[in-house]
């Protein structure tokens, strides 16, 4: 019997060290997970930190994967990648070498102490919605029943994002 692969969207961010390298390296690591395949990646955007001051800008993107993992198995693997890359969690919204968030996992709706899907702040974050709209503009949010494009269009004007270019 074959297990159907779920389509999952993961937010990727870094604001410490070589941000572009950190994002790209995490994508390679995700693609190496047994039962996971990276199928698309948005542009990498330069974004302002939200909710905090005094932090360096972020590199953010969204990656689409296909996986045979359960949401909790995938979370465990993503946390292991973060740890292996040097992420140490001491407080909420601190600077980080890498941050990997499950945004959407097929049509799953999960609310537990360890995992909430869809990501609870997805609809409010330009740095997530702008790259996600590149990959899946017509994807329906499983709780709000609106498209990703609609969520993006409803964002208030505010924090800016721009495609991050390689420094030469």
- DSSP at 141: P
State the catalytic residue, choosing from 29, 77, 96, 123.
96
Residue among 77, 99, 123, 126 flagged as catalytic: 99
- Nearest-10 crossing angle of helices 71-84, 19-32: 140
- Residue 99 among the catalytic residues: yes
Helix (H/G/I), strand (E/B), else coil: 122? helix
Active-site choice (29, 87, 125, 126): 87
96 belongs to the catalytic site: yes
CB 122 within 8 A of CB 110: no
CB atoms within 10 A of CB 113: 5
Spatial distance between the Cα atoms of 41 and 50, rounded to a whole number of angstroms: 22
123 is catalytic: no
User: How would you class 108 by CB atoms within 10 Å of its CB: exposed for 0-12, middle for 13-18, buried for 19 or more?
Assistant: middle
Residue of 5, 24, 89, 101 marked catalytic: 101
Known catalytic residue at 89: no
Catalytic residues, by residue number, are: 87, 96, 99, 101
């Amino acid at each position: 019997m074959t297990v159907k692969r779920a389509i999952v969207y993961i937010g990727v961010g870094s604001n410490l060290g070589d941000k572009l390298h950190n994002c790209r390296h995490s994508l390679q690591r995700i693609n190496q997970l047994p039962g996971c395949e990276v199928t698309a990646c948005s542009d990498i955007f330069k974004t302002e930190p939200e909710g905090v001051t005094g932090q360096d800008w972020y590199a953010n993107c969204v990656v689409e994967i296909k996986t045979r993992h359960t949401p909790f198995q995938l979370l465990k693997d993503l946390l292991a990648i973060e740890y292996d890359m040097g992420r140490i969690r001491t407080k909420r919204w601190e600077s980080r070498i890498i941050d990997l968030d499950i945004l959407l996992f097929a049509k799953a709706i999960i609310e537990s102490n360890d995992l909430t899907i869809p990501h609870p702040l997805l609809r409010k974050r330009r740095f997530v919605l702008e790259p996600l709209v590149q990959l899946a503009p017509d994807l329906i949010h499983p709780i709000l029943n609106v498209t990703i494009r609609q969520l993006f269009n409803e964002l208030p004007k505010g924090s800016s994002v721009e495609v991050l270019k390689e420094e030469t």
